[in-house]
Amino acid sequence: MFGRPPSKSLVYCSRKLVESTHTHSHTQFVRLKSVSAVAQLSPYLSDSAVFQQFKRLGLSPNVYTYGIVIKALCRKGDLEEAVDIFQEMEEAGVTPNAFTYTTYIQGLCSHGRSDLGYEVLQAWRGAEIPIDVFAYAAVIRGGTVRVGIYLKLWFFIMKMASKGIKTNCVIVSLILQCLCQMGMASEVLEQFNNFKDSGIFLDEVSYNIVVDAFCKLGKLEEAVRLFDEMKRKKMVLDVVHYTTLIGGYCLQGKLIDAVNLFEEMKEKGFKPDLVTYNVLAGGFSRNGLAQETLNLLDYMEGQGIKASTVTHNKIIKGLCIGGKVKEAEMFFNSLEDKCLDNYAAMVHGYCEAGHTREAYELFVKLSKQGVLVKRSSCLKLLSNLCNEGENDRALALFETVLASDDTHCKLMYSKLIAAFCRSGDMKKAQWVFDTMVGTGLTPDIITYTIMINGYCRVSCLPEACYLFKDLKERGIEPDVIAYTVLLDGHSKIKMKRGHSLPSVGDNLQDAIGLFDEMIDRGLEPDAVTYTALLCGYCSQGNVNRAVTLLNEMSFRGIQPDAITMSALHSGILKAKKVQFQALRAKVTLWLDDKVHISVQHGVLGQEGAP
């Protein structure tokens, strides 16, 4: 009775619906209701097949028809078919409207492809079709938040206000959530207070986002005060609100308060869900309470809630962070069906605990089996290896990831380049840099600056100058730091054995040229920039120019620091030394002349003696 309906009956239903539209009415409303009804007939229904059947029967789909079919496909997770329908719509000359775009974006984001949802949103903006707030909401809730989205959302709200449309709590929640996901917790609090002062009604969702922001900032007392305010206002609290504050207590290590709130939640009739238990398990394990964590697992399973992969991973990482690496290993080994995420959690946990060697050995063991842990764990391990000076192992890891993963992580390239530059191995740093460019990635100004600094440190000024020229040719604007690094390199360059480099005076002139170019570009030199140039003057004993530069700093309101004054002091001493050496040379020459004359007189006197 509840089995899969035969396909013939579905085709029959769709045909009867189409026939009824031809018989009774050809209005858009009836056609749309037909498509919508058929699209919801059964979870087994092939939406695209029914859609094609409608077209074969002579109906010309319009933008609303396409929208309904796309929505049905997205709801079922048939994203590839949804893409095909979307493309077919454009090829048919039917322009997508706000409903179509929003439906498509919501479908992508609800199935974990908020990155594609963001791209569609970008395309929508280019189509000059008014964007509604629900599209922004879908992308934000999907987890892909960029500064551009926030600015566009804010502009959208300002535009609404200019038309007399009041901002409601839903839009406010979107703004707060957007800021929170961008890590701008302080701005969340500021905007919340602004909205509150303006008299806008703020619901439980808005309050919960701000409670979470307080917790992330470590302002637990304020979070509790806001939580109590919600109670006083008779707001409807649920498991989410309690879980947020429990998480705040766990972050601060106040586990007794977390457990008390957990008990209060149960007394209020709220049943803790998996997320609540995960938060508590993470809190217990991070604070080194291994046995309590295991007891919590037993309790939650007794309540009919089964631990998930996320639960296991939180415990593994948490125990490692809490200094219980052995217990984490025992828990990891006790898992019967280990998934790739569990291995990634163990690698990450080892890194958090400073057990980089064990993390690397586990990574190598997995890679030999053809298994590659997720990128975030690889990045964490690579960072640890680089920080500990294990550059060869970091390079081996990098090459393994490069051979196994089609996508490329710019941050991984940058960390490896920085590690080789720190160690002075510019040959390998250049290889990683070239590999990065070869994959189609464009190094940013930070990566270029790291490379330039690396070359300057090993007195390879021509290579540094080439990279500086290259970044400008790629359309990357050099900042104050990039100019300062190269300027400092010119000021401090030393003659390398076997290399013919310009004289120190020429390098100083180049440094002055860079300083002037930077100002011409509208960049303001800081204390570090001035100090770099001042060091160049002092290295030549040109104290007068150095003092003039110091006066210019003061005129611009830049206070010299200890390094600046130390450089000037060294320059004065060097200048005095140079002056002393020059004076001593003159005295020596004068004495030599005196001795020579005395000797000559002595010889002449002897020759004239009887």
- Residue 16 belongs to a domain with what CATH number? 1.25.40.10
Q: Is the dihedral of CA 501, 502, 505, 511 positive or negative?
A: negative
**Pair (227, 278) in one structural domain:** no
Identify the helix (H) or strand (E) that includes residue 239: helix 239-251
Tell me if 285 is assigned to some domain.
Answer: yes
**Pair (350, 323) in one structural domain:** no
The two structure tokens encoding residue 153: 């959302």
Identify the helix (H) or strand (E) that includes residue 155: helix 147-162
Closest Cα partner for 189 from 167, 166, 219, 152?
219
Question: In sequence order, what are the residues at sequence separation of 6 or more whose Cβ sits closer than 8 angstroms to the Cβ of residue 276?
Answer: 239, 242, 243, 246, 262, 265
Domains contained in the chain, number: 4
**Pair (102, 11) in one structural domain:** yes
Identify the helix (H) or strand (E) that includes residue 74: helix 63-76
The two structure tokens encoding residue 51: 């859609």
The distance from CA 603 to its chain's CA centroid, rounded to whole angstroms, is 87
In the chain, how many H helices and how many E strands?
32, 0
**What are the contacts of 531-535 at 24+ separation with CB within 8 A?**
531/560, 531/561, 531/563, 531/564, 531/567, 532/484, 532/487, 532/488, 532/491, 533/487, 533/491, 534/564, 534/567, 534/568, 534/571, 535/488, 535/491, 535/492, 535/567, 535/571
Identify the helix (H) or strand (E) that includes residue 118: helix 114-126
CB atoms within 10 A of CB 571: 23
Which residues of the chain are under the pLDDT cut of 70?
1-60, 112, 114-115, 117-118, 121-168, 406-408, 493-506, 541, 567-568, 570-610
Residue 581: C-alpha distances to residues 426, 568, 584, 586, 596 (Å): 39, 20, 5, 9, 22
CB atoms within 10 A of CB 371: 12
Tell me if 120 is assigned to some domain.
Answer: yes
Cα–Cα dist 437/373, whole Å = 25
Q: What pLDDT does residue 11 have?
A: 33
Task: Tell me how long the chain is.
Answer: 610
**Pair (318, 379) in one structural domain:** no
Question: In sequence order, what are the residues at sequence separation of 6 or more whose Cβ sits closer than 8 angstroms to the Cβ of residue 554?
Answer: 560
Tell me if 390 is assigned to some domain.
Answer: yes
Last residue of a domain, one of 256, 287, 306: 256
Residue 30: C-alpha distances to residues 21, 89, 508, 566, 589 (Å): 6, 20, 81, 84, 113
Question: In sequence order, what are the residues at sequence separation of 6 or more whose Cβ sits closer than 8 angstroms to the Cβ of residue 158?
Answer: none
Using CA atoms of 56, 59, 63, 64 in order, give the dihedral in degrees to the nearest 10: -110
Tell me if 235 is assigned to some domain.
Answer: yes
Closest Cα partner for 71 from 102, 38, 34?
102
Burial level of 235, CB count in 10 A (0-12/13-18/19+)?
middle
**Pair (351, 431) in one structural domain:** yes
* DSSP label of 41: S
Is residue 287 within 8 Å of residue 255, measured between CB atoms?
yes
The residue to which tokens 């493309």 are assigned: 87
The distance from CA 170 to its chain's CA centroid, rounded to whole angstroms, is 27
Tell me if 33 is assigned to some domain.
Answer: yes
Cα–Cα dist 469/552, whole Å = 28
Question: In sequence order, what are the residues at sequence separation of 6 or more whose Cβ sits closer than 8 angstroms to the Cβ of residue 427?
Answer: none
Q: What pLDDT does residue 532 have?
A: 83
Tell me if 491 is assigned to some domain.
Answer: no
Is residue 376 within 8 Å of residue 360, measured between CB atoms?
no
What is the domain range of residue 386? 346-441
Closest Cα partner for 320 from 288, 297, 281?
288
**Pair (374, 318) in one structural domain:** no
**Pair (3, 70) in one structural domain:** yes
The distance from CA 482 to its chain's CA centroid, rounded to whole angstroms, is 22
Last residue of a domain, one of 411, 441, 471: 441
**Pair (125, 11) in one structural domain:** yes
Closest Cα partner for 295 from 321, 322, 272, 277?
277
**Pair (325, 372) in one structural domain:** no
Last residue of a domain, one of 338, 370, 389: 338
**Pair (418, 436) in one structural domain:** yes
Tell me if 185 is assigned to some domain.
Answer: no
The distance from CA 256 to its chain's CA centroid, rounded to whole angstroms, is 34
Tell me if 588 is assigned to some domain.
Answer: no
**Pair (324, 353) in one structural domain:** no
Q: What pLDDT does residue 599 have?
A: 47
Which amino acid belongs to residue 369? Answer: Q
- HSE, CB side, 13 Å, CA atoms: give it for residue 541: 10
Q: What pLDDT does residue 380 have?
A: 94
**Pair (307, 218) in one structural domain:** no
